[in-house]
Structure 1
Amino acid sequence: MQFAILGPVEARRPDGTPVALGGPQLRGLLALLALDAGRVVGADRLIDGLHGDHPPEGAAEALQSQVSRLRKRLKDGGAPDGLVEFSPAGYRLAVDPQDVDLHRFERLTARARETAEPEAKLALFTEALALWRGPALDGLADPPRAARLAELRLAAIEDRVDAGL
């Protein structure tokens, strides 16, 4: 399964068809887990990312319910059991980070910056930027992270222009 957060949040089956994720809370939860794919994300951090500085009463219980619904949506979409794991420290999207477009973008831009050959550099930046389909983390209550990702995109655009010259 592939995950996209560089634009509207999506989960895609291996054949590329999207999985029906539901409303903004489930897409937001998936995006927050995908940002740290393969690593545990604390419940407090997930609640902050979904609700900002003013979480509702019972936010921890609501998070558990949202995780359960997300698991069901992903399983209905063909994902294996255990894709969203629980541990005492939080939740983890149990996938290779390269299954997430953001992490592929970061890998491609890092390779491009290490490449001396201008044509190869240009091709890598072009491939990386093609992963973007709109504003990252759109709709999440996490403006600092969204701003950081927008800065990464802008830097890659500038580097691609330089490589093209």
Structure 2
Amino acid sequence: MEFRILGPVHIRTSGHEDSLSGTKQRTMFAALVLAGGRALSDEYLSRMLWDTNPPSTAGAQIHTYASRIRRRVGSEVPLVRLRMGYRLIAEHVPCDLTRFTQLSQEGFRALREQRYELASERLRESLGFWHGEALADVTDHLVLAERPRLDEARLEALEAMIEVDLILGRHRQLISELTGLVTQYPMRERFRALLMTALYRSERQAEAMSLYLDGRRILADELGVEPGRLLVRTYQAILSGEVRTAVPHQLAS
């Protein structure tokens, strides 16, 4: 058995994918998985299911969803009813979020230790557990509460993986991917700094400098701020040629 929430929410058993029946049931299941063994109160579950406007039958419906989840996971994964809530005891069940977190942390540690091939391997493997947007088919209330932190964790792992690939001299192969990421996240400075570095090392200095100026304009127009230290130092390193041997996180330190 395996739990998956980094994409459509489902339970995978012996090659069969059980997507659970209905958005509300998937929401309650995903919230319990995200809790990591902590108890969730009926009040919290109600907010994730109906926000501030629960039906008069909310308690009974939550009980029904719990019963259905129990049937899905079986007796080997206890879903315990507490005084005012539920707790899913599933530490022994593989989960894509758990594996992503473990592997990305191993990758970050390898990067700090300058074990770059291992860092690239672990970070790439961690990102392989994502299959689209996390919590793809739950209520908007759970998405708003939980997806931002999950997305941030994914982006940090992606940034670190690309930085490792830059260290390993793969700058030309990265330009296309980074161009798309800068377009998708125009105010995320690390992607822009990484692309500036990749362009410069590919003998495209004018484009790298133009990218900085575009970023500076976007930040001023959208947020009314100047570029942060990372972007400024990367620009200065391009002017001085230092960016040939340094990568953005080294320049910002």
**Considering the TM-score relative to the shorter chain, is it more than 0.5?**
yes
Provide the C-alpha distance between the structure 2 equivalents of 1:21 and 1:104, rounded to a whole number of angstroms. Answer: 22
Amino acid at match of 2:57: G
Structure 2 residue 97 is the aligned partner of structure 1 residue 102: yes
* Change in 2 beyond 3 A, CA 1:150/1:82: closer
> For 1:8, what is the secondary structure of its paired residue?
coil
Structure 1 partner of 2:177: none
- Post-superposition offset of 1:69: 1.7
Question: How far apart, in 2, do the equivalents of 1:110 and 1:80 lie?
Answer: 32
Aligned length in residues: 160
Which residue pairs with 1:113 in the alignment?
Answer: 108
Structure 1 gaps of 5+ residues are none
SS, match of residue 18 in structure 1: strand
Query: CA offsets, 1:41-69, max 9 Å, x none?
Result: 22211111122232222212211111112
Larger helix fraction of residues: 2
- Normalising by the residue count of structure 2, what TM-score does the alignment of the two structures yield? 0.59
Could you list the runs of 5+ residues in structure 2 that have no partner in the other structure? 167-253
The separation in 2 between residues aligned to 1:107 and 1:54, in whole angstroms, is: 37
Q: Which runs of 4+ in 1 moved over 6 A?
A: none
- AA at the equivalent of 2:155: L
CA distance in 2 between counterparts of 1:22 and 1:147 reads 25
The whole-number CA distance in structure 2 between the counterparts of 1:81 and 1:101 is 19
3-state SS in 2 of match to 1:80: coil
1:136 matched residue in structure 2: 134
2:102 equivalent to 1:83? no
Instruction: Supply the AA of the counterpart residue of 1:134.
Output: G
2:87 is equivalent to residue 92 of structure 1: yes
The amino acid across from 1:132 in the alignment is: W
**Corresponding residue for 1:157?**
158
* Alignment check: 8 A CA contact 2:9 2:19 kept: no
Code of the residue aligned with 2:91 in structure 1: it is D
CA contact (8 A) 1:109 1:124 kept: yes
State percent identity of aligned pairs.
31
Would the aligned equivalents of 2:120 and 2:164 in 1 still touch at CA under 8 Å? yes
The AA in structure 2 aligned to 1:11 is I
Residues 8-40 of structure 1: CA deviation (Å, up to 9, x unaligned): 001011x23212511111111111111023222
CA distance in 2, matches of 1:113, 1:83: 34
Partner of 1:11: 11
Alignment partners' CA distance in 2, 1:136 and 1:105: 12
Q: In 2 relative to 1, CA 82–121 (structure 1 residues): closer, same or farther, beyond 3 Å?
A: closer
Whether the aligned pair in 1 keeps the contact of 2:3 and 2:93 (CA below 8 Å) is no
Cα deviation, 1:64-116, whole Å, max 9, x if unaligned, reads 111112222x15xxx33553121114211211176221121111111111112
Root-mean-square deviation (CA, aligned residues, Å) is 1.8
- The residue number in structure 2 matching 1:69 is 68
Moved more, 132-141 or 53-62: 53-62
Query: Residues of 2 paired with 1:129 and 1:20: CA distance?
Result: 22
Q: Which amino acid aligns with 2:7?
A: G
The structure that has the greater radius of gyration is: 2
Please say if residues 122 and 163 of structure 1, whose CA atoms lie closer than 8 Å, have aligned partners that are also in contact.
yes
Q: 1:129 to 1:70 in 2, by over 3 A?
A: same
Report whether the alignment pairs 1:52 with 2:51.
yes
